[in-house]
Structure 1
Amino acid sequence: MKPSQQSLLKSFTNAFAGMTHFFANDRNGKIHLASAIIVIITSIMLHISAIEWLAILLCIALVIGLEMLNSALEKLCDLVESNYHPTIKVIKDVSASAVVLAAIISVVIGIIIFLPKIIVLL
């Protein structure tokens, strides 16, 4: 195997190790994973279209990806400054707000996709 292939394989191995660590140890990661599973099961049950699947999967990836970045940034901030610091607070607040914004928009998209299908069932 060429060195560049080994480093690519190692990169993927490290990325999956990070993902495993995140879902195993991060409270919000567990919540987002459980929510994603529920949304995927609901999507299957409601037979959503291909375009709706794209929207749902992008929302899941965006929210979980931002939560991963938020978690990593918070850990980095804690490593840099263990005591309270107003700038660190702003960094953490802005990072968390990115997750909240993506989650709110994702809920709105979910309502747009799921509500009409649920109303038909009722």
Structure 2
Amino acid sequence: MKAQVKWLGEELFMGTSASGHTMILDANAGNLAPSPLEAVLISLGGCSSVDVVSILQKSRQNITGCQVEINGTRVDGVPALFEKIHLHFIITGSDIAAKHVERAVSLSADKYCSVALMLNAKVDITHDFEIITQ
């Protein structure tokens, strides 16, 4: 897997994946685009959500939506690394069993999500969920 990041000027950078997709990053506290650390949170949420949806679908749960709210806390110092990250999954649908959601979220965090597994060495990652019945 390869990628490229190009400086666009000021504090803007454009990342391009090997598949040709682009993403703008703003090193200036995310004023014009996500900051690199905001992109890490988004990547973690995306990676985990892919797993959770896939596992729930394979478990034949009738899900119609999955959203994850991510809250990262950084250490007070330089570099300001993430100390803690909490993921709150909001699963919508009908006839969804909490045990299946708990299992999907745990499997993602502990076994499948590459981003979470990379961050686990340095960051305390927690998660919970709620189910909204439609």
**Length-normalised TM-score, structure 1:** 0.31
- Higher alpha-carbon Rg: 1
Q: Which has the higher contact order (CA 8 A, sep 6+)?
A: 1
**Structure with the higher fraction of residues in strand conformation:** 2
**Structure with the higher fraction of residues in helix conformation:** 1
**Length-normalised TM-score, structure 2:** 0.29
